[in-house]
Amino acid sequence: MNEKNDKKRNQNMTENNEAIELSPEGTVTPNRNTTETTEGSENIPKVKEKLANLENQYLRLMADYQNLQKRTAQEKEDLYKYAAQKTIEILLPAMDTFDYAKSSVKPDSKPEKIVEDFNLVFEMLLKCLKDIGLEAIQDTGVPFDPFQHEPLHQIPTNELPEQTVMQVLKKGYILNKKVIRPALVAVSVKEEQKQ
């Protein structure tokens, strides 16, 4: 009878307190949920510490990202502001040559000297532009290329193949292998035979 009372008491304890389980031998063992809860409560400070570390990392990363955005915006603004600096530095020798030629022209200067100075300035300017990467499109006798040429008119002839550049009316320019202005050209077409 004593055994029956113990079992009933243990059963009541189990129903009232989920943290206790009755083993087949009649001994009381803690419920798994209690063990997990106990382990979980032991891990709470660790989890809080890890969460605080992650939050700090997040805040640092956000600050770094915002600084990067500001720095990038400033660099972009500076790039736009000083984009022409290298070009101007390359063109300065041509400006110097022009100043020299201008100062050497006097009212009694010979026309040949003025032409010579003008040609010197022009050659220097072309050299500077070539150093920047500018090339002129000025070839005649080449096939018409719609990417480099803009046809202004056609010239009937049987001397050249059809669609050949016969005359460059306005030079075109290529900057670092990109056409920035196509050449204005006259193109050959087959001359109709008169009968």
d(CA 182, CA 145): 10
Cβ 136 vs Cβ 157: under 8 Å: no
The answer for residues whose C-beta is within 8 angstroms of residue 156's C-beta and 6 or more apart is 188, 189, 190, 191, 192
The model carries a pTM of 0.55
Q: What confidence tier does 85 reach under pLDDT thresholds 50, 70, 90? A: confident
d(CA 105, CA 15): 116
Digit-coded pLDDT (tens) for 58-68: 999 999 999 99
Res 15 pLDDT > 50: no
- The whole-number pLDDT of residue 144 equals 93
d(CA 159, CA 15): 112
Per the DSSP assignment, residues forming a β-bridge with 136 are 173
Res 28 pLDDT > 80: no
The answer for residues whose C-beta is within 8 angstroms of residue 47's C-beta and 6 or more apart is none
Average pLDDT over the chain, rounded to whole? 81
3-state class of 171 per DSSP? coil
60: number of CA atoms within 13 Å, CB side? 6
